[in-house]
Structure 1
Amino acid sequence: MAASDDKLLKKFSALLLENDMDEIIACRLRSTMTKAWSLEGNLKFVEAGKNTFLLVFELLVDKRKVWYGAPWSFNRNLFALNHFEANVSSNSWTFPHSEFWVQVNGIPLEYYSEKAALTLAAKLGEPIPVDSFNPSKWSKYI
């Protein structure tokens, strides 16, 4: 793999779904997310447009940690990620979907089953399998 290819692998395009983000919020975003991710290497936020950033990771392991730890939020807004594509203008970057958890409260106990959870999830989008399905660990929600 060429060195330039390696650099491309360490990048994300990112969008914060927040109205009217100013410089103070952008600074807080950088600081908060860097701390939340507890990265081993350095991270650079490059502003690429309105509420849009290029994230440049020093280490590929850090990029993977952030990608597989998603979804992320900041200031009660989704922080969407997508893999960076070379030779594509930041105006053309798209963020077509984001995986996230949904908590449903007030479900009657007789519906605490994998089948019911998948049926509910299908109403919201495409359900994503999880490592374990253990209703005994649930409380008031699935």
Structure 2
Amino acid sequence: MADIWRPVKGVKIKVAKTGLFLFQFAHAIDMEGVLQRGPWMFDNHMLIMERTHLGVQIENIPLYHVDFWVQVHNLPVGLMVEKAGTKLANYIGAFVEYDKNNNSSFWRQYMRLRVQVDVRQPLKKDSRVKNKGGE
């Protein structure tokens, strides 16, 4: 993973127990970059990553949530706004971020949302959205 992430100041990877690892970044900017660019896969397995805090045992950190970028297609232009995106994201999981950079083109094809998903729940897909007029 260190070869893929390429942290400027480096990272140490330790096995805490089978299937549970501790990634210790030498600089907070490297850690934030890895967390923001995820989710990550290793050997066809999802890496569920969470910040640790002093005094908390690694085994007691709940590893149930992953942030995903979601594309929402076929929305009318008037609904491709952050307010509508927040509601859609909260239906899927929990709203994290609206991609304002994707909002720069009038002809954009979809809305991008970062959504925190509980990996213990089944994914939601192919949902229909109605506007105030019922369309």
When normalised by structure 1's length, the TM-score is: 0.57
User: Does residue 138 of the first structure (1) align with residue 108 of the second (2)?
Assistant: yes
User: Does residue 40 of the first structure (1) align with residue 8 of the second (2)?
Assistant: yes
Paired residues of 1:118 and 1:127 also in contact (CA < 8 A): yes
**Cα-to-partner distance string for 1:97-137 (whole Å, 9 max, x where unaligned):** 332211244x2546752154333222112223435161635
User: Does residue 78 of the first structure (1) align with residue 17 of the second (2)?
Assistant: no
Structure with more helix by fraction: 1
The residue number in structure 2 matching 1:113 is: 80
Look up the equivalent residue of 1:71 and give its one-letter code. Answer: G
Distance between the aligned counterparts of 1:102 and 1:125, measured in 2? 11
Change (3 A) 1:71 1:97: same
Paired residues of 2:16 and 2:58 also in contact (CA < 8 A): yes
The residue number in structure 1 matching 2:61 is: 93
Q: Percent identity?
A: 22
Distance between the aligned counterparts of 2:61 and 2:11, measured in 1? 20
Q: Over the residues paired in the alignment, what is the CA RMSD in angstroms? A: 2.8
What residue ranges of structure 2 are gaps of 5+ in the alignment? 112-135
Please state whether the residue corresponding to 2:85 is helix, strand or coil: helix
How many pairs were matched up? 107
Specify which of 44, 50, 57 is matched with residue 18 of structure 2.
50
Change (3 A) 1:131 1:51: same
The residue number in structure 1 matching 2:34 is: 66
- Bigger Cα displacement from structure 2, 113-122 vs 33-42: 113-122
Higher RCO (C-alpha under 8 Å, 6+ residues apart): 1
Change (3 A) 1:93 1:128: closer
Structure 1 segments, 4+ long, off by >4 Å, are 108-112
Paired residues of 2:39 and 2:67 also in contact (CA < 8 A): no
Change (3 A) 1:129 1:72: closer
When normalised by structure 2's length, the TM-score is: 0.60
Please state whether the residue corresponding to 2:49 is helix, strand or coil: strand
Give the superposition deviation at 1:74. Answer: 0.8
Look up the equivalent residue of 1:34 and give its one-letter code. Answer: A
